[in-house]
A and B are shown apart, each in its own frame.
Chain A
Amino acid sequence: MSPERRQFLAWGAAAAAGSALAPGLRLVELAQARSPEEAASKLQRWGLLIDITKCGGCDDCVTACHAENGVSGHGRPETDAQWIRKLSVRDKRTGYAQALPLMCQHCEHPPCVDVCPTGASFKRDDGIVLVDKHTCIGCRYCVLACPYGARSFIHEAVSGQKADVPRGKGTVESCTLCVHRVDRGETPACVEACNRDGGKAMAFGDLNDAASAIHRRLKSEASGQIRADLALNTGVRYQGL
């Protein structure tokens, strides 16, 4: 058998094995995902760990988030929604510069949830902070209350909405941690994009699960929260801040 032929057969066998196994692996993934009927559980606390020493000049996380969630602008940056943004941070004295992505920090004690008069701002049992688009009256008190400027008010009619991500003029919205993907057992779009095309700075996982990579890293490596002084116990943690 010629080496070329042998290599061809090896590739072919690998491809066959892959295609035979892939659906099975997909099934495992689906089996681990929560069914739509199953309520979110307090046993989990979804969160992100962002190593900003690896976060460079790209904004792949921002692009992926807004594509995934159908968040498009009208060319009016002051009123257009931003679910995630890149922040440039520079020390006033030394000039040391860093960049980091900022989104809803999915606090354990979210000020936005505290202040919402109707309870439209709420926290799921698994720690994801969301806005119920049916009960938000558009008072914007939560926007004022958020320490991170993470929320946007929808200033004009929206188009091109995604089936999983309802949006509407006159209500407030913010990062959902891609709850529709998380419920399918996937990772948020920003994390996926960062690890595929960006600096591999973002990790997603269950902060409560002792076996998860994010839990192990948080246990063994230094990390911090933005505005830790507020003691909100954020679900999004940063390294290298």
Chain B
Amino acid sequence: MAGKQLLLMDGIHKRFGPLIVSAGVTLDVEENEIHALLGENGAGKTVLMSILCGVLSPNEGQIVFKGRPLKLGSPREAIKHRIGMVHQHFMLVPNLTVAENYVLGQGSPFSMIRDMRAVHARILELSDRYGLDVEPDALVSSLSVGEQQRVEILKVLYHGIELLILDEPTAVLTPQETDRLLHLLRQLVADGKTVIFISHKLDEVMRVSDRVSVMRDAKVVRTVKTSETNARELARMMVGRDVLMDLPRAPLEPGRVVLSVEHLSCDSEAGLPALRDVSFEVRANEIVGIAGVSGNGQSELALALTGLLPVASGNVTLDGTQLAGLSSYEINQVPMAHIPEDRHRMGIVLPLPLTENVILQRFDKPPFSSRGLLDLNEITKQTRDLMRRFKVKASGPGDRIRNLSGGNQQKLVVGRELDRRFDFLLINQLTRGIDIGATELVMHKILEQRGAGKAILLISTELEELFTLSDRILVMYEGRLVGEIPPDRSRLEEIGLLMAGKSPLSAA
């Protein structure tokens, strides 16, 4: 590799009020390399890159780009210096076409939109060169997530970017799409571009990068050549200690059927068909995983099971009780626990203290309340107990849950749900946005419940999580269950094909 320094970010500090999100970060990137930025959620990767592309400005520190100090006041200036970012949440306007998205923000605001043909021609040329299959006239809202990402990458290339930053690009992709993306990155570097690749997935970093900078606690702890390290060492740098990569899962014979779903169909909140004829069973002592690219009906499945989305047709029975048609309040009374997808929206109430978050569903029942009054002592006692058992770090039970890290919030949610009386546990995204320490703990707790005879449905977009926990994996695509695969890592490719809506048999 070239070895000539392209970028140096030196002593970057960034604070949001009392929160330090960048504590003197130093990062150097060489010309023509794929530089991976590895770290857990909240380690400060995205903030650092937002500074680099002018979205945020640092409180202290300097950026040297191509040997000259770089002062960025806006993303526009970054683009002028040919630095561009593909954001994790796409910066594409859904009601505009691909080409319109590309010209957005270009030229004088008072200019007319004239020659879209030239724009189209350039899009097609770039699309051909990198094999991206981007259609300039397509409405962004009509594209799949994978396609939108290609559109987003091409947008950056369209703007003539030389330093390309990708923020967690593989989070929304199937394994095959990921392969294709990593191949594309190699192609870009061969074309003389430089890539910064943000990820928390060790295997991808090992596969594609030339060098790795590992971030922890808002700092870059080390930069190493990829060829001189390995996944285990990187994981240790990321967490600051040894990590258990595999959890022991005792072989258990599945017991009686606890949850049975038959021919379930329902529409999404927008009124479009979301679930189509879904049937499966979850037995005691069993964890059933549901895999799929996000947006293929998994959210709706969780909502339908909890009564938050009306069931159009089909049956859901839990221990013989029909759930379809019941209200969410009624479903709250059946032996079911639910760890929701988006804890901020559905799991907790951010401005409330831990105590009130613990009693959210049960505040009106003993032991938390009697004769219409809350028993504050009992609530505090139980909250303390839960914090101890689930290692929730907070200044006290009266602390607002907003002040906790994502991992601690999730531990509280998991603890609260596991303390309920339940036979069936519904989990949607167990470890999203939490650190490795919290991930280890909640995974252990879930496996304990499996051993205790509970039936567990685990919906996840993280295949690693599914492989680690599930007894069998069902794959969802466009609202249907399209296949069942044992949790065997060697069958990753089959799962990937199913997730993309292809049959593994026909592809073989």
Please say whether chains A and B are actual partners in one complex: no
